[in-house]
Structure 1
Amino acid sequence: MYQRILVATDGSPLSKKAVASAIELAATCGAELVALKVVPRYPQSYFEGSIPLSVEDIGRIEKQWTDAAAANLAAVQKAATNQGVRCRGVTVKSDVVSDAIVSAARKHKADLIVMASHGRRGIKRLLLGSETQQVLTHSHTPVLVLR
């Protein structure tokens, strides 16, 4: 059915449930799993442009992001390997998470994208947006959304 499944993860509890489901589906189908973690391109201060970050702060923040992404992906790879699923971790730098997910699915020739949705409604959805909605709108690859 599926040869390669891309699962987007951010390390949140909801994302971990999506990862577990993606691993189970990959094991059932005999598919390869591509675990994707998107990190921002560049640290920005709260008041962008008004309070510049020092070079040391930027380096420290980027290292924290890289280390956290590596740990997150290592946990996914370990869980997948424990269930006999081939898995590779991919970290992508992008400020637009949805675009990064769609591009990664295309680049890695994924048959399916698995991701979580927080199911926000009303003003929270308006203010926070929905990366999941953007992926659903712009992806040509089927998307499995889990809550």
Structure 2
Amino acid sequence: MSETEQSEMQGMLTRWQALKKQAEGGELRLDPEIGTRLAAHAGRMRDQLDVMVTNATRLAFLSGFGSLGSAQALQGKFAQKADNGNDSAVNRLKQSIDVVTLMKETYELAIGKLQESDQSAADKLAALNPGGA
């Protein structure tokens, strides 16, 4: 992964960590219907990324390069690109999974805080009107 791409991925991760903290503190709130749909979409994205990780892991087992030393070296480089290398497809996908997981958790927290806030307001209103109507 290039330095720019790595920086962008780290930036996304940092941004979603900050948003999650805001949701935990009640500063970030979402309409329950919208938040539920966003969380469900993030869950589907996570599922798709999991499938991609499985497929990328399989790419590490390549054959058909021949018996020459240079062919074996090339085979090893392709295997590292798929899995186990610092810049492997699997590592990139796992970083994306981390971001999508944070997104889903953030949406769920933002929904919960809005619902808690609504319930708190309803409880306070009910306390002000003990007669009930």
Q: Same fold (TM over 0.5)?
A: no
Name which structure has the greater RCO, CA cutoff 8 Å, separation 6+. Answer: 2
Normalized against structure 1, the TM-score is what?
0.25
Name the structure with the higher strand share. Answer: 1
* TM-score under structure 2 length normalisation: 0.27
Greater fraction helix: 2
